Structure 1
């Protein structure tokens, strides 16, 4: 029988504090008339880690003491920072790392999402190479290292997450050599031929930064293989059974597909709010087979391609006109970024085109929603949909596919899953 995450971690932690480090905290802080307000954050990384952190609270074998370190979602003026730290620690067991708006623009919108994100998802023509972006990326990783150095204990287990902080493991290793450090990448790691498109110094420092960890994890064996190939070709370090020997320690590189809280989704149908919303959807959409599409707004998700495919389906299979409907939910992302605003407009124009071409009184081919979806509503959508369409052009894992199957405990429903999603591996 496979061991649960709790069973695997219990002997590793053994009473030691777990420190989770990510770009974002599980909340965003805002200031209104001098008063602090905290709202839950959205996103796959935060959702996955929040589920894991809840399992810490429920697992008696695991230590209750843990800490989440990251950016609090907005810039905070210096006079308010002590108050934010106090409330973050007391209410969320979290420790904020404060960044200015200018730093976040160069770091998050710059190197992270204009360089690493498109390149690691194989959108090489979208990739921007700017030295100021790289310098800010290094500075922010150093800032995180300094903040952690001030609060870490020698026997802490530090778990660093995702492409925003790939230099951090090596920086922490230089500051505190006794630390146990893990790193997990939530997006694909590209093939060597793509990764080598980064300037020589950048790619070497990224690999060396990651190798500061004791354990490096990826979603799929393919990503793990790509990383080890880049380490060999760029740094000249061979591996034996996934172990890389560096000058000062051994690094284990392995595959750990990210999962979901199956029990939560499997039992969602029994929730009164979910059941009520499911009945409302069935009444409103009676007489048609429902195809569900749920994605965060991003070019890697292939949303426009999905709409074009659906249009072609209606064109070449006229007998299905009036009998199916595509319920497309697009979750807002990176609002105010020109490329994403343009993408949203293109999607909405395609929706209008399809509805104008095929729609008639009593039937709308595409039901489009641009909004955040709470858990109960999402579970209701899963429960009422006959087909779930998950067709990204490239995706590190994609938890929508897993959530849909977990919700359909009766074995009904059809999942159409792109081979380009990590969940298909």
Structure 2
């Protein structure tokens, strides 16, 4: 394990780290390694150039905190035991209930937001949480080290770290959209300024698409008068083709394929519309179900000939608004099945328990993939389905997903608020000739894998050091 005082040359900071710990009944700690773009990226850093890499993250649960207390850890990972109340206020109170809502434009503005004393107390926790990261990075970084700070949870870290260690090369990457300036300015003026100045403490601020980068730049110009010399970059994270293709052919995925085909029923000639999402407010699952219901209503010829396989995996269930949204998804799926279902045909097959192998199985058998977020930084599902699809798949894609910038030309594009328009798009997708579907899928897969996770990370690192 890299000690607290090791002089690392490449540092990554994120709320969630590459490993989590669980405290077993016998008192032992068990570790679970995570996946994703950053994990792949760090593993791509070779030892040949002598760089020492360190990942700084927060202890997220009792198991993580116990691991920190016992001095248990993985090589190259430093986990911060931040006070649980401070973390809860910073993570749920500010990051997920304010910053996420601003960047995804989710507020019901007649009623919210209302920034009162509770917000100010939580904002103080967000500052303290960011400061803990900045101090840990300052302590662990070698001279002239490269520090890559991740996402809206840690927007203040670059500015705080710059004050502590002006010698460092600091980058910040936003994995979410960035709000347009008029929406961003709903935040209290001092908070809006603080967030922008925090990110501008970096040498380089990077985003998933040019659209989000432009929105950030406009906020800086309108609120602060400019970007203070910080360079702005764009890195569109792609799907990991090799991993997906290998993983989607394993035995557990084949088992899930058999089970899903059984649930879909028919004699194998039913069309399948697939969606795979967390029950996140921005994913627009409810309007997707409404559009499917409209398809069955306006095109009755599809009844008993199509099934909507919808995976809506629970997200942020400690927040009431997310619990309510999850319940509405379930209610609407039940309503559609009750109204249209007949013996031998269930119109909506809904699963709410997270199962990656089952998701890959659904990708493989999808005739149509529905990705209709209200707003999304990228949306990797849109990129993964064409890579894994067995027979070719039509992508029905929201123009508000970051992936639209790269995939829009070969997708059937929708306005995510237009239920009738989305129903029409589903019909168009279902009736697309096989040859056109196959050609589109091929082009989508090529675009989706243009910047795989390891290359995505290394590109940022090189750009920061340039």
Q: TM-score, length-normalised on structure 1? A: 0.86
1:37 aligns to 2:30 (yes or no): yes
Q: Alignment partner of 1:69: what SS?
A: strand
Equivalent-residue separation in structure 2 for 1:284 and 1:80 (angstroms): 42
How far the C-alpha of 1:407 sits from its partner, in A, is 1.3
Unaligned runs of 5+ in 1: 1-14, 238-243
Unaligned runs of 5+ in 2: 1-6, 406-466
2:17 corresponds to: 25
Equivalent-residue separation in structure 2 for 1:77 and 1:424 (angstroms): 37
Instruction: Assess, with a 3 A threshold, how the Cα gap between structure 1 residues 128 and 299 changes in structure 2: closer, same or farther.
Output: farther
Equivalent-residue separation in structure 2 for 1:118 and 1:221 (angstroms): 21
Say what the alpha-carbon RMSD is for the aligned residues: 2.2
Q: Alignment partner of 1:314: what SS?
A: helix
Q: Alignment partner of 2:205: what SS?
A: strand
2:58 corresponds to: 71
1:102 corresponds to: 85
How far the C-alpha of 1:209 sits from its partner, in A, is 0.6
Equivalent-residue separation in structure 2 for 1:305 and 1:283 (angstroms): 27
Equivalent-residue separation in structure 1 for 2:341 and 2:263 (angstroms): 16
How far the C-alpha of 1:118 sits from its partner, in A, is 0.6
2:386 corresponds to: 405
Q: Alignment partner of 1:258: what SS?
A: coil
Q: Alignment partner of 1:287: what SS?
A: coil
Instruction: Assess, with a 3 A threshold, how the Cα gap between structure 1 residues 62 and 216 changes in structure 2: closer, same or farther.
Output: farther
How far the C-alpha of 1:269 sits from its partner, in A, is 4.5
Instruction: Assess, with a 3 A threshold, how the Cα gap between structure 1 residues 344 and 99 changes in structure 2: closer, same or farther.
Output: same
Q: After superposition, what is the alpha-carbon deviation per residue over 1:171-197, rounded to whole angstroms, capped at 9, x for unaligned?
A: 111111111111100001111111111
1:385 corresponds to: 366
8 Å CA contact 1:121, 1:188 repeated in 2: yes
1:124 corresponds to: 107
8 Å CA contact 1:69, 1:97 repeated in 2: yes
Instruction: Assess, with a 3 A threshold, how the Cα gap between structure 1 residues 136 and 16 changes in structure 2: closer, same or farther.
Output: closer
How far the C-alpha of 1:31 sits from its partner, in A, is 2.4
Equivalent-residue separation in structure 1 for 2:18 and 2:64 (angstroms): 20
8 Å CA contact 1:297, 1:331 repeated in 2: yes
2:250 corresponds to: 271
Equivalent-residue separation in structure 1 for 2:68 and 2:202 (angstroms): 30
Equivalent-residue separation in structure 2 for 1:263 and 1:236 (angstroms): 45
Instruction: Assess, with a 3 A threshold, how the Cα gap between structure 1 residues 79 and 329 changes in structure 2: closer, same or farther.
Output: closer
Equivalent-residue separation in structure 1 for 2:114 and 2:214 (angstroms): 25
Q: After superposition, what is the alpha-carbon deviation per residue over 1:217-246, rounded to whole angstroms, capped at 9, x for unaligned?
A: 011111111111111111112xxxxxx4x3
Equivalent-residue separation in structure 2 for 1:62 and 1:295 (angstroms): 40
Equivalent-residue separation in structure 1 for 2:30 and 2:124 (angstroms): 32
How far the C-alpha of 1:77 sits from its partner, in A, is 9.1
> Structure 1 residue aligned with 2:133, among 135, 144, 157?
144
